[in-house]
Amino acid sequence: MKPWIWLRIASVLITLCAAGHTFGHLSSSDASPEEKAVTAAKRSFHFDLIGAQHTIWDVYAGLSLFMIVSLVLLAVLMWQLSDLARSFPSQVRPMVWALVVAQFLISLLCLTNFFFVPSLLSTAATFCLLMAAIGL
């Protein structure tokens, strides 16, 4: 398969990760009394962060939104690189290898800290990027 196709597949997989993360962020609810207690504690504990008052919940929600934006950006970059890979494979090669390394590390984080679906999608995207990099 051509490298640009592998990049497009990786882009779609990361888009699915972004969609899943967005859905999870927007639909998260506390199912048990224990979860409700933890969420309440996150929302009530205030601390000073570089001169501004925040809660652990602010940081948690902010990082979740940051992850969504990062995943969307990553998917867009992979799609754009797929177009460039057709015309300028030698110029795209170092960028794709950088994405292989980054996505591999993301896959390891997913495997060690999250659950099956993001781990599977992330690992599949790593494989696609690796195939694209080898083919360039």
Half-sphere exposure of 104 (CA within 13 A, CB side): 10
User: What is the average per-residue pLDDT within 80-93?
Assistant: 94
Quick: pLDDT tens for 27-73: 877 678 888 888 888 888 888 888 889 998 888 889 999 999 999 99
Distances (CA, A) of 14 to 19, 43, 57, 74, 103: 9, 30, 26, 7, 10
C-alpha–C-alpha distance, residues 47 and 95, integer Å = 39
Contact 136, 89 (CB under 8 A): yes
pTM of the full structure: 0.87
DSSP secondary structure string, 102-119? Answer: HHHHHHHHHHHHS-HHHH
